[in-house]
């Protein structure tokens, strides 16, 4: 169960966050954290194709991306988010893969398991 954030930043209320994660329990945990903080979750998307369809239909305010989805790198999603000027963070245990693509240079990795407070804080900083 996610750690509950006592006072989520008010500027996050109602903001949309694309969640791209292929592990159901991790996706559920992050989704609960974001919902509790007053954000609207797009997804979770478990594949690159699903994530691209979601952002093709609606522009998110921010995104949380797992870098590897069932063997497929999330690079096309990161590239599209950059084109749309949508900030994103990573939530991945595959930190070594970040060096394989310029789309991930300078992008924060929240790691796994994702700490609820850090997740909300990172989004708060990006969307301030």
What is the model's pTM? 0.89
Strand residue runs (E) in 1-128: 16-20, 40-45, 62-65, 68-69, 72-73, 88-90
pLDDT per residue over 70-97, tens digit each?
A: 889 999 999 999 999 999 999 988 766 5
Q: What is the spatial distance between Cα 76 and Cα 74, in angstroms, rounded to a whole number?
A: 6
pLDDT grade, residue 2 (50/70/90)? Answer: very low
CATH topology of domain 22-126: Rossmann fold (3.40.50)
Give kind and range of the element (H or E) at residue 117: helix 116-126
pLDDT higher at 45 or 94: 45
Give the closest residue to 23 by CA, choosing from 6, 51, 45, 53: 45
Domains in the chain: boundaries: 22-126
Residue environment code for 58-85, b if the CB has 16+ CB neighbours within 10 A, otherwise e: eebbbbbbbbebeeebbbebbebbeeee
């Amino acid at each position: 169960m996610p750690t509950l954030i006592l006072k989520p930043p008010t500027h996050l209320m109602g903001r949309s966050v694309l969640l791209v994660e292929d592990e159901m329990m991790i996706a559920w945990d992050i989704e609960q954290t974001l919902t509790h903080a007053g954000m609207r979750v797009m997804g979770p998307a478990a594949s690159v194709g699903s994530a691209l369809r979601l952002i093709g239909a609606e522009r998110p305010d921010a995104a949380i991306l797992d870098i590897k989805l069932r063997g497929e790198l999330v690079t096309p999603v990161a590239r599209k988010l950059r084109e749309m000027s949508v900030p994103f963070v990573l939530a991945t245990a595959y930190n070594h893969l970040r060096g394989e693509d310029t789309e991930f240079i300078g992008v924060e990795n929240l790691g796994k398991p994702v700490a609820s407070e850090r997740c909300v804080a990172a989004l708060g900083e990006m969307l301030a």
